[in-house]
Amino acid sequence: MKHAHKQRTLGRVRNQRTALLRGLAISLIDKGQIKTTLARAKELRPFAERLVTYGKCGTIAARRNASANLGDPSDVILRKLFAEIAPKMKDRQGGYTRIIKMGLTKAGREEAVIEFVE
């Protein structure tokens, strides 16, 4: 029985899953929207929204927490998160991302687009 197991494993062990989420979050911050599977998008949403919350706080500690969660990304990614994305979301209390279902692929998996709300 899977008691108290809320997260999807995405067919990976923990360190691989963390690396996948970090890569997806960096791509989302860099491009604004990405196309991925529905399961990955649903797992990415709380991870990315926590990063935006750090960006809204704007302190040095928040910048360090965001950097640690992203695995020490480039300065361009952090600057974009703290200077461009977070100020747009200052009036929102949550729900910074949107998932749009694209339907099934030929391989049979559901695709989705995850993007930041404007």
Q: What is the pLDDT of residues 63-93, one digit of tens each?
A: 999 999 999 999 999 999 999 999 999 999 9
User: What is the average pLDDT value for the chain, to the nearest integer?
Assistant: 96
Give the residue numbers spanning the domain of 80.
33-116
In a domain, 19, yes or no: no
pTM for this prediction:
0.93
| pLDDT grade for 31, boundaries at 50, 70 and 90 | very high
In a domain, 23, yes or no: no
Q: Interior CA angle at 111 toward 107 and 35, to 5°?
A: 120
In a domain, 11, yes or no: no
Q: For 10-46, b where at least 16 C-beta lie within 10 A, e where not — what string?
A: eeeeeeebeebbbebbbbbbeeeebebbbebbebbbe
SS3 of the chain: helix, strand, coil, percent, to 5: 55, 15, 30
In a domain, 55, yes or no: yes
In a domain, 107, yes or no: yes
pLDDT of residue 26: 98
Q: CATH number for the domain including 92?
A: 3.90.1030.10
In a domain, 25, yes or no: no
2 pLDDT higher than 80: no
